[in-house]
Structure 1
Amino acid sequence: MAQSLLPFVLFALVACISPGPTNLLILAHGAQRGLRASVAPILSGCLAAAGMVWVVGLGLAEVLLQHPVAQQLMSWLGVLWLSWLGWQLLRSAAAPLHGTQRARFGAVSAATLQLINPKVWMMAIAIIGVFAAPGQPVWQLALIFLIIALPCMTAWALLGVGSARWLQSPQRVRRFNQLLAWLLIVSAWSALLA
């Protein structure tokens, strides 16, 4: 594992810090609710993704690869749900940043999003396919991934917290929410079409 640790860490860092549906929603949540309120979704999202690496390493990858229809169904369900979330963000684009009518992006939502996110499944399969060494406990890869994912997703929440200072006018809030909504929709569909 030692010789493949650095490439794995770099891969995990890029996978965790790059824009994706969960990171974009954590960004929006951080802007709307602050860092303290974002801790639970960050933890659950990171734990769910690390859990997926572990489960895929235990053999789920083989099952998914043997059943391409199940893969496609999961991908389509994930993209449709992410598109719905993007649509909801577009519809509420002009709502006040700290308004009470906004739905919370909580721990369950973050974990569920990871479970249906095609990008996370592809990443978990890639980790096991490329970095898992024979005889290596899969939990080690999952734990290292978790350790990398936590500060990466926290950085997105902090970016949201920092952007809240800039989002003082209704026009800026509307543009910010519209941008996040479109990025969410594009990232979901690009993962499916890739």
Structure 2
Amino acid sequence: MSQSLLAFLLFALVSSISPGPTNLLILAHGARRGMRASLAPILAGCGAAAAVVLLVGLGLDELLARHAQVQHMMNWAGVVWLSVLAWRMLRNAGQPLDSASGKPFTALDAASLQVINPKVWMMAVAVIGVFAAPSLPIWQLALVFLLVALPCMTAWALLGVGSARWLSRPGRLLWFNRTLAVLLLASAWTAVLR
């Protein structure tokens, strides 16, 4: 294994496992809906993030740099959407886990969130700027990122599934959802206000 591939694997691991909007929503979804229901959002979210890496590597970052207004609008659309999701989480914070209330986090939601998530775009630009080389073609970077992201996001869902029993007490669930909502808001707003 080359040093550049090892360095990229470590970068992909850190950027995929660190708390971010999608991981936090997958955690909450896993706690509320279970692992089976979380598989489609995990696959879609990881696939979309890998697609962003591929598209940035193919030059989309240069196009966005020339049209800063589009990038600015994407950032704000992501922040608004994450704020709405955080508000929903706060509003339903005390709902029992087995409750059918609250909209599930779908595969389309996960993929769309990755496409407008500023953290994903910053990560993709860093990947291409630092790791793209003849020895690591862009398509390989995107594929390796996908293969690293899948178990990382799955770990967040499993953490949610594992915490479901502990969260069966209403007081714990209330504070868990409130904390996730605040973390979701913080991750969205810090990414755009930097």
| Same-fold call, TM cutoff 0.5 | yes
Q: Following the alignment from structure 2 to structure 1, what is the Cα–Cα distance between the partners of residues 176 and 29?
A: 12
8 A Cα contact 2:31 2:163, kept in partner: yes
Counterpart AA for 2:123: M
| 1:117 partnered with 2:117 | yes
8 A Cα contact 2:43 2:150, kept in partner: yes
Query: Which structure 2 residues correspond to residues 166-181 of structure 1 after superposition, within 5 A?
Result: 166-181=166-181
Q: Which residue of 1 aligns with 2:85?
A: 85
Counterpart AA for 1:141: L
Superposition deviation, residue 3 in structure 1: 3.0
8 A Cα contact 2:5 2:136, kept in partner: no
- 5+ unaligned residues in a row in structure 2: which ranges? none
Q: Which residue of 1 aligns with 2:76?
A: 76
Q: Which residue of 2 aligns with 1:24?
A: 24
Q: Which residue of 1 aligns with 2:44?
A: 44
Secondary structure of the residue aligned to 2:168 is coil
Q: Following the alignment from structure 2 to structure 1, what is the Cα–Cα distance between the partners of residues 87 and 14?
A: 27
Query: Which structure 2 residues correspond to residues 151-166 of structure 1 after superposition, within 5 A?
Result: 151-166=151-166
Superposition deviation, residue 135 in structure 1: 7.3
Superposition deviation, residue 78 in structure 1: 0.5
Secondary structure of the residue aligned to 1:175 is helix
- Please tell me the root mean square deviation across aligned C-alpha atoms, in Å: 1.2
Amino-acid identity (%): 65
Superposition deviation, residue 2 in structure 1: 2.7
Number of aligned pairs?
A: 194
Counterpart AA for 1:61: D
Superposition deviation, residue 168 in structure 1: 1.5
8 A Cα contact 2:64 2:71, kept in partner: yes
Secondary structure of the residue aligned to 1:103 is coil
Secondary structure of the residue aligned to 1:167 is helix
| 1:63 partnered with 2:76 | no
Q: TM-score, normalised by structure 1?
A: 0.97
- 5+ unaligned residues in a row in structure 1: which ranges? none
Cα deviation digits, residues 65-102 of structure 1 (max 9, x gap): 22222211111111111011001100111111121112
8 A Cα contact 2:42 2:150, kept in partner: yes
Q: Following the alignment from structure 1 to structure 2, what is the Cα–Cα distance between the partners of residues 3 and 164?
A: 40
